């Protein structure tokens, strides 16, 4: 049974999840050390593990090094997770156990330093098979904290280790990499003040033999949306740890009277069943414990950016909204250009008042008209940014991140506002609260189009604190807006997928995965995103062709099918679409709205990952329904099509494809596969619906045309 127990005679805590065990103990010096993380063990078996601690080999090699729950100090030469420096120059922490508290599935273990008035509380919270860990530091004197990771995770000694993670850049986010773990230290990080396009704060580790369906996988993910780092350390003794938290080299935290420090959550997950099981477990965790409204279905949205750019007006937006409603969209989003002197990206950011030249009557009439069409209304905002060419900057040049006597570097003609300043935070909440409340805004696309630069705060004694406080104020502002406007939903965007993480997902409903909407590239971007984050968080648009990022032309059906494996959105200039494309769009939006519960809330099975340019396939299963997506990227040598083996079905049941009327044995679909019937050629795709056959056939969904064909590009 899941829960937490304390073995007093061994000073050991045992945390039992749904199918795994985590254990730690206090050693003779009161240092909290790791005991076990992995398969289920009883209390007696955990005690047996604690008795297997090995002695030092010599004066240079400690086989138990790296087992500290927050490695630091003394003769512990492992990468430090906690570094403190006192006013007299002393460094390191000497642990003294104080007390413990267990509340349900939440464990707190409190320590003080043996000499200095510094307190550290370690937190552990079970969430199914995910263990959340974080730390709190407080002091009665001023203490400089050079590093404060949330946790050190020690993995069992293995013959080998392999690391899974994602890398990328703007328009090429979340590219999955799997590589052997090198000896020494490997650091994944962002120094940009945001999560970044270039890495994402999670890693998975296996012994090199795990597949999509088989093998043990360990995962660690950090719930933080500012600068961060994860460090893997592998020694010649065979030990491997993963340690991570907020912050970066050269930036210190200051703890003192009235200034505690709480680290973000570091979440750890152990699973068997390979990478597929690991992803499904992470998705279940995100839906159950992270997302604010996990039970909701994300609406089909239309965003006007690609149709109009900055050239927006009330009449023009209303025409687009009418066309979007006719296609089956449920949410209309007005993008950039509606405020201030915003006729391009060089001016206006910070002046969040409606541009009366473009909207003479304000936004309210447009919002009302959109609502009358049966659509929700959304708006693009970028609260953390300012153009130097703006009334706000001219009035408050001191509000931006900057250093005295140093130039202020502009990216995209903009600077970053210092949200750690109370006056900036109050200003931001004031205009956002009025905007949402006075206009009845249902949805905000919250963008952030540049990383930090010259991150200083002249006149502030502790300037480094802005690196943490900026992110925390963004969190608090979103939380406050949602509390004041319960119907408001938010999408996180940062030049695409630059701020996607568990911390941001705790106060937003979905994320803009990438500015790259090219369907072929999206197969790989969405593959990486789905390793940790569920499809219900993944905004995916159908835009025009040739694509504005890649210049590639892809058939409309293929573009739709790729976007339909996430949260479907429309982003093209639909006023210029020919009638045949509009008719196809209406059919595919209707199909998506039928399969949406399965896609957004179902379990994901990656059947054929995008490892080459052949067929890619994935499947979602929810209850007695399954949806299969298959995409042929490029055809070579007229190779015959192979049946697609499915997963996650009940072998004892039969499944109906309501579009073809064909029934299939679950056992056959699992063992032999589903014939896809993809036509020859490039950019062919299909969506197959399957439902368990029930005695009440009237309960089945009415057939919709099966969408499988090869379109002409364009």
Mean pLDDT, rounded, for 32-56: 88
Please determine, for residue 707, whether its predicted confidence score (pLDDT) is greater than 60. no
Please determine, for residue 704, whether its predicted confidence score (pLDDT) is greater than 60. no
> Is 192 inside any structural domain?
yes
Are 545 and 624 in a shared domain?
no
Identify the burial level of 673 via C-beta atoms within 10 angstroms of its C-beta, where 0-12 means exposed, 13-18 middle and 19 or more buried.
middle
Mean pLDDT, rounded, for 422-429: 98
Token representation of residue 354: 């409606």
Cα–Cα distance between 369 and 322 in angstroms, integer?
9
Number of structural domains the chain divides into: 3
* Pairing of β 261-262 and β 130-139: antiparallel
User: How much is the pLDDT for 57?
Assistant: 65
Please determine, for residue 223, whether its predicted confidence score (pLDDT) is greater than 50. yes
**In this predicted model, what pLDDT tens digit does every residue of 276-314 receive, in sequence order?**
999 999 999 999 999 999 999 999 999 999 999 999 999
Are 622 and 535 in a shared domain?
no
Q: Which residue has 């009638």 as its token pair?
A: 579
Mean pLDDT (the chain) is 94
Please determine, for residue 503, whether its predicted confidence score (pLDDT) is greater than 60. yes
Are 74 and 18 in a shared domain?
yes
Cα–Cα distance between 553 and 19 in angstroms, integer?
47
> Is 112 inside any structural domain?
yes
**In this predicted model, what pLDDT tens digit does every residue of 641-695 receive, in sequence order?**
899 999 999 999 999 999 999 999 999 999 999 999 898 889 999 999 999 997 5
Of 564, 583, 602, the one marking the end of a domain is 602
Contact (Cβ atoms closer than 8 angstroms) between residue 169 and residue 198: yes
Of 225, 257, 290, the one marking the end of a domain is 290
What crossing angle do the helices spanning 556-563 and 519-529 adopt, rounded to 10°?
10
> Is 535 inside any structural domain?
yes
Contact (Cβ atoms closer than 8 angstroms) between residue 627 and residue 594: no
Are 211 and 259 in a shared domain?
yes
> Is 295 inside any structural domain?
no
Contact (Cβ atoms closer than 8 angstroms) between residue 326 and residue 587: no
Cα–Cα distance between 613 and 128 in angstroms, integer?
37
Are 445 and 527 in a shared domain?
yes
Are 306 and 286 in a shared domain?
no
Cα–Cα distance between 152 and 220 in angstroms, integer?
10
> Is 19 inside any structural domain?
yes
Mean pLDDT, rounded, for 173-198: 97
The residue with greater pLDDT, 602 or 62, is: 602
> Is 467 inside any structural domain?
no
Token representation of residue 386: 């300012």
**In this predicted model, what pLDDT tens digit does every residue of 593-633 receive, in sequence order?**
999 999 999 999 999 999 999 999 999 999 999 999 999 99
Are 584 and 683 in a shared domain?
no
Contact (Cβ atoms closer than 8 angstroms) between residue 286 and residue 181: no
**In this predicted model, what pLDDT tens digit does every residue of 513-538 receive, in sequence order?**
999 999 999 999 999 999 999 999 99
Are 268 and 309 in a shared domain?
no
- Is residue 520 helix, strand or coil? helix
Of 255, 290, 325, the one marking the end of a domain is 290
Cα–Cα distance between 173 and 169 in angstroms, integer?
5
Cα–Cα distance between 140 and 357 in angstroms, integer?
57
> Which residue range(s) make up the domain with 283?
3-290
Please determine, for residue 714, whether its predicted confidence score (pLDDT) is greater than 80. no
Q: Where in the sequence numbering do the catalytic residues fall?
A: 447, 515
Are 167 and 247 in a shared domain?
yes
Are 282 and 340 in a shared domain?
no
Cα–Cα distance between 146 and 594 in angstroms, integer?
52
Are 250 and 376 in a shared domain?
no
Cα–Cα distance between 232 and 180 in angstroms, integer?
12
User: How much is the pLDDT for 303?
Assistant: 98
Q: Which residues pair with 539 in a beta bridge?
A: 512, 567
User: How much is the pLDDT for 218?
Assistant: 98
**In this predicted model, what pLDDT tens digit does every residue of 238-269 receive, in sequence order?**
889 999 999 998 999 999 999 999 999 999 99
- 113-122 burial, b at 16+ Cβ within 10 Å, e below that, comes to beebebbbbb
First-to-final CA distance of the chain: 57
Q: Which residues contact 292 (CB under 8 A, 6 or more apart)?
A: 482, 506, 507, 508, 509
Cα–Cα distance between 6 and 451 in angstroms, integer?
45
**In this predicted model, what pLDDT tens digit does every residue of 369-380 receive, in sequence order?**
999 999 999 999
Q: Which residue has 């032309």 as its token pair?
A: 553
Contact (Cβ atoms closer than 8 angstroms) between residue 148 and residue 137: yes
CATH number assigned to the domain comprising residue 552: 3.20.20.70
Q: Report phi then psi at 106, rounded to 5.
A: -115, 120
Contact (Cβ atoms closer than 8 angstroms) between residue 418 and residue 453: no
Mean pLDDT, rounded, for 3-26: 96
Range with the lowest mean pLDDT among 54-68, 249-263, 333-347?
A: 54-68
> Is 587 inside any structural domain?
yes
> Is 505 inside any structural domain?
yes
Contact (Cβ atoms closer than 8 angstroms) between residue 127 and residue 31: no
CATH number assigned to the domain comprising residue 222: 2.70.98.60
Are 207 and 343 in a shared domain?
no
Token representation of residue 16: 């039992």
CA 150 to chain centre: 18
pTM of the complete model beyond 0.75: yes
């Amino acid at each position: 049974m899941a829960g937490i127990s304390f073995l007093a005679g061994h000073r050991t805590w045992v945390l039992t999840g749904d199918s795994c065990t985590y254990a730690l103990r206090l050693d003779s010096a009161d240092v909290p050390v790791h005991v076990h993380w992995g398969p289920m063990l009883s209390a007696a078996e955990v005690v047996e593990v604690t008795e297997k601690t090995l002695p030092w080999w010599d004066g240079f090699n400690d086989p138990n090094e790296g087992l500290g729950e927050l490695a630091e100090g003394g003769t512990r030469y492992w990468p430090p997770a906690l570094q403190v420096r006192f006013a007299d120059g002393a460094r390191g922490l000497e642990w003294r156990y104080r007390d413990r508290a267990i509340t349900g599935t939440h464990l707190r273990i409190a320590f003080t330093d043996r000499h200095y008035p510094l307190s550290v509380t370690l937190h552990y919270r079970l969430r199914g098979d995910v263990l959340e860990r974080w730390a709190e530091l407080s002091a009665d004197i001023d203490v400089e904290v050079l590093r404060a990771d949330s946790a050190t995770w020690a993995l069992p000694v293995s013959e080998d280790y392999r690391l899974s993670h994602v890398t990328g850049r703007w328009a090429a986010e979340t590219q999955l990499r799997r590589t052997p773990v090198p000896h020494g230290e490997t650091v994944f990080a962002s120094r940009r003040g945001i999560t970044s396009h270039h890495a994402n704060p999670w890693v998975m580790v296996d012994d090199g033999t795990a597949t999509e369906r088989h093998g043990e996988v360990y995962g660690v993910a950090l719930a933080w949306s500012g600068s961060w780092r994860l460090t893997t350390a592998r020694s010649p003794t065979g030990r491997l740890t993963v340690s991570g938290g907020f912050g970066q080299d050269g930036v210190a935290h200051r703890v003192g009277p009235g200034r505690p420090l709480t680290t973000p959550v570091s979440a750890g997950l152990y699973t068997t069943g390979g990478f597929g099981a690991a992803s499904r477990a992470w998705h279940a965790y995100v839906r159950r414990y992270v997302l604010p409204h996990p039970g909701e279905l994300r609406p089909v949205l239309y965003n006007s950016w690609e149709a109009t750019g900055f050239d927006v007006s009330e009449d023009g937006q209303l025409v687009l909204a009418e066309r979007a409603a006719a296609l089956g969209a449920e949410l209309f989003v007005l993008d950039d250009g509606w405020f201030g002197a915003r006729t391009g990206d060089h001016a206006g950011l910070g002046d969040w008042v409606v541009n009366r030249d473009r909207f003479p009557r304000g936004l309210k009439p447009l919002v009302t008209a959109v609502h009358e069409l049966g659509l929700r209304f959304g708006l693009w905002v970028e609260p953390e940014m300012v153009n130097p060419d703006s009334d706000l900057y001219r009035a408050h040049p001191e509000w931006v991140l900057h250093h005295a006597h140093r130039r202020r570097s502009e990216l995209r003609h903009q600077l970053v506002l210092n949200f750690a300043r109370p006056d900036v935070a109050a200003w931001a909440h004031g205009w956002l609260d009025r905007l949402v409340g006075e206009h009845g805004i249902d949805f905000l696309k919250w963008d952030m189009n540049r990383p930090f630069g010259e991150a200083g705060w002249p006149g502030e004694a502790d300037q480094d604190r802005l690196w943490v406080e900026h992110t925390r104020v963004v969190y608090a502002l979103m939380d406050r807006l949602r509390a004041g406007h319960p119907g408001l939903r938010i999408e996180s965007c940062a030049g695409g997928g630059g701020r996607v993480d568990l911390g941001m997902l705790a106060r937003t409903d979905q994320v803009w995965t990438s500015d790259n909407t090219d369907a072929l590239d999206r197969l790989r971007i969405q593959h990486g995103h789905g390793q940790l984050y569920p499809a219900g968080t993944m905004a995916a648009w159908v835009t025009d062709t040739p694509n504005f990022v890649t210049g590639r032309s892809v058939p409309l059906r293929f573009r739709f099918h790729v976007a339909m494996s996430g949260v479907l959105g429309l982003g093209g200039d639909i006023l210029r679409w020919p009638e045949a494309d509009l008719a196809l769009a209406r059919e595919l939006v209707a199909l998506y709205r039928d399969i949406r519960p399965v896609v957004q809330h179902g379990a994901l099975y990656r059947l054929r990952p995008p490892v080459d340019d052949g067929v890619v396939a994935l499947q979602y299963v929810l209850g007695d329904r399954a949806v299969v997506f298959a995409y042929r990227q490029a055809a070579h040598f007229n190779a015959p099509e192979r049946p697609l083996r499915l997963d996650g079905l009940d072998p004892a049941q039969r499944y109906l494809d309501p579009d073809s009327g064909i029934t299939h044995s679950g056992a056959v679909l699992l063992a032999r596969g589903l014939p896809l019937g993809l036509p020859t050629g490039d950019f062919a795709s299909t969506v197959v619906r399957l439902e368990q056959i029930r005695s009440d056939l009237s309960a089945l969904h009415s057939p919709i045309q099966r969408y499988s064909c090869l379109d002409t590009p364009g």
